[in-house]
């Protein structure tokens, strides 16, 4: 028997990178565009500013490529050794022609296959599960997962309920076989499609193909029923995280960091409270970037990578349209 083949392969994050555009859209800027104010935005969301990719000729692929190149340069990765690239996004460059394929070609990953993954704000969390599974299988050794969204391309800047929340950005992580005993430990993923109309872009798909009516009605912009989404997000993110801790016999005191999707500071605070985590264990950058959808979790990792120590216990949690949500448990390997 080949013991090397039967030995369980554990997936680990071995490199991270990120990118946000230079242009800042502050709360004061939004005050000039819609009926809102800085105090209200900060108290309800925790957001002070967000980044916007202004150039109309640059799309989500630009953000993804920049994040990937940052990872490659920082960790001295040979792009030709990457086996697979997954881009989690709800704002692909085009409905047909995978953004990930263009990203792969643009960074010189000519040995990789590539595809997009769509699960709204849970996209990166789901992508982590997928990437870890590819590594666990033993079939691939380097999986580059990128979360990237140009949310400004789908936000209606006359709608004060959504335009205050979202920003543009991208983050990337590399999954490889763990060099030690640390890495991907467990996950708890869920979905429920009965509330899909509560957080949606109504038109542009097969249900409501693009027409003059869909354009006139603004059905190509992001819409959300704020109270419904908030209620579900608070309960489900916290529940998923709590279930994951119970399943792994962990207490809040044993967790080093909560790495949550940056949807809303109040949602993150509620999740942390449910887990019994102190403030210093809860990672947040929502005040500077807003909600960058699939990019929030990898941007958090990139901003905090110098603080992580080998063996740190990290809990990831997210909630997004669909509805989709879940939590995962990873021990830091580098």
Per the omega criterion (within 30 degrees of 0), is the bond before 323 cis?
yes
What is the distance between the alpha carbons of residues 291 and 289, in angstroms, rounded to a whole number? 6
The residue whose two tokens read 């296959």 is 113
- Please, what sign has the CA dihedral across residues 196, 197, 199, 204? positive
Q: What are phi and psi of 253, to 5 degrees?
A: -65, -30
Q: Choosing from 27, 163, 221, 261, which is the catalytic residue?
A: 261
Q: Choosing from 121, 163, 221, 264, which is the catalytic residue?
A: 121
Assess whether 136 carries a catalytic annotation.
no
Assess whether 163 carries a catalytic annotation.
no
Q: Choosing from 27, 221, 264, 291, which is the catalytic residue?
A: 291
47 SS3 class: coil
What is the distance between the alpha carbons of residues 171 and 20, in angstroms, rounded to a whole number? 9
What is the distance between the alpha carbons of residues 223 and 221, in angstroms, rounded to a whole number? 6
| Burial category of 211 from C-beta neighbours within 10 Å (exposed 0-12, middle 13-18, buried 19 and up) | exposed
Q: CA separation (Å) from 288 to 28, 30, 168, 263, 313? A: 13, 14, 11, 13, 25
Looking at the annotation, which residues are catalytic? 121, 261, 291
């Amino acid at each position: 028997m080949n013991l090397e083949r039967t030995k369980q392969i554990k997936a680990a994050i071995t490199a991270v990178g990120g990118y946000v555009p230079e242009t800042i859209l502050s709360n004061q800027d939004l005050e000039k565009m819609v009926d809102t104010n800085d105090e209200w935005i900060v108290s309800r969301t925790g957001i002070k500013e967000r980044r916007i990719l202004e150039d109309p000729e640059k799309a989500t692929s630009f953000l993804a490529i920049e994040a990937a190149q940052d990872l490659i340069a920082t960790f001295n990765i040979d792009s030709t050794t990457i086996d697979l690239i997954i881009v989690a996004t709800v704002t692909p460059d085009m409905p047909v022609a995978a953004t990930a394929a263009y990203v792969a070609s643009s960074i010189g990953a000519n040995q990789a296959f590539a595809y997009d993954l769509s699960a709204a704000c849970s996209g990166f969390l789901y992508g982590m599960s997928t990437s870890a599974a590819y590594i666990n299988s033993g079939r691939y050794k380097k999986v580059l997962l990128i979360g990237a969204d140009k949310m400004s391309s789908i936000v209606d800047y006359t709608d004060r309920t959504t335009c205050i929340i979202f920003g543009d950005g991208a983050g990337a992580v590399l999954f490889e076989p763990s060099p030690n005993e640390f890495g991907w430990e467990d996950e708890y993923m869920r979905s429920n499609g009965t509330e899909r109309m509560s957080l949606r872009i109504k038109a542009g798909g097969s249900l409501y193909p693009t027409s003059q009516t869909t354009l006139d009605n603004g059905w190509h912009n992001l819409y959300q029923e704020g109270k419904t989404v908030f209620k579900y997000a608070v309960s489900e993110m916290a529940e998923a995280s709590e279930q994951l801790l119970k399943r792994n016999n962990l207490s809040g005191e044993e967790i080093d960091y909560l790495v949550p999707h940056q949807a809303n500071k109040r949602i993150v605070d509620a999740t942390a409270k449910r887990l019994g985590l102190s403030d210093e264990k809860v990672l947040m950058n929502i005040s500077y970037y807003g909600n960058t959808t699939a990019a929030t979790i990898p941007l958090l990792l990139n901003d905090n990578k110098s603080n992580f120590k080998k063996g740190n216990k990290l809990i990831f949690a997210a909630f997004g349209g669909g509805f989709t949500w879940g939590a995962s448990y990873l021990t830091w390997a580098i």
